């Protein structure tokens, strides 16, 4: 599994290599593929249970070591997991970031074809925020 930010960085590099003449929609198509995969990864690392999803997602959103069923040192001391039991999933991909980037790119998609400059600006802004972490919620 490639971390979301790493995947997006790779995508940015790919975009940079794209001919300047490529339209904004082409960039978005490429981004969509990354986002679809990132969304699936977010689903996979969240889980379908409220307890685990809550702990994993809160930890990912705030980048803290929130406690949870899958985050205990004591438990880690137990016997190794059988191969088919997935055991402890890695910390959740930041689903909130994926979600917000999707929303931004959907906005850019609406602009594509009508206002190419606006589409590019929305795209660049969204990516900049993602990479810099500016879209993180304010925590007092």
Unique residue bearing structure tokens 């249970």: 49
CB of 109 to other proteins, least distance (A): 9
Per-residue interface string for the shown chain with other proteins, residues 75-114, x marking contact by CB under 8 A: x-xxx-xxxxxxxxx-----xx-xxx-xxx-xx--x----
Residue 23, classified by CB atoms within 10 Å of its CB into exposed (0-12), middle (13-18) or buried (19+), is middle
Task: Give the nearer residue to other proteins in terms of CB position, either 20 or 78.
Answer: 78
Tokens standing for residue 26: 């082409």
CA–centroid distance for 94 within its chain? 5
Task: Give the nearer residue to other proteins in terms of CB position, either 86 or 131.
Answer: 86
Compute the distance between CA of residue 71 and CA of residue 66 in angstroms, rounded to an integer: 8
Q: Based on the shown chain and the rule CB under 8 A, indicate whether residue 138 belongs to the binding site for other proteins.
A: yes
Interacting residue with other proteins among 31, 34, 55, 127 (CB under 8 A): 55
Return residues touching other proteins (CB under 8 A).
Answer: 1, 36, 38-55, 57-59, 61-62, 64, 66-70, 72, 74-75, 77-79, 81-89, 95-96, 98-100, 102-104, 106-107, 110, 135, 137-140
């Amino acid at each position: 599994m490639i971390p979301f930010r790493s995947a997006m960085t790779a995508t940015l590099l790919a975009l940079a290599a794209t001919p300047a003449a490529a339209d904004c929609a082409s960039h978005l198509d490429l981004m969509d593929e990354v986002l679809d995969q990132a969304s699936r990864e977010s689903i996979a690392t969240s889980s379908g249970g409220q307890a685990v999803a809550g702990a994993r997602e809160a930890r990912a959103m705030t980048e803290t070591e929130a406690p949870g069923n899958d985050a205990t040192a004591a438990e880690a001391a137990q016997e190794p997991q059988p191969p088919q039991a997935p055991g402890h999933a890695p910390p959740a991909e930041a689903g909130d970031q994926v979600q917000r980037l999707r929303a931004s790119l959907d906005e850019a998609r609406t602009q594509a074809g009508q206002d190419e400059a606006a589409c590019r600006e929305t795209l660049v802004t969204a990516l900049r925020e993602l990479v810099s972490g500016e879209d993180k919620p304010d925590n007092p």
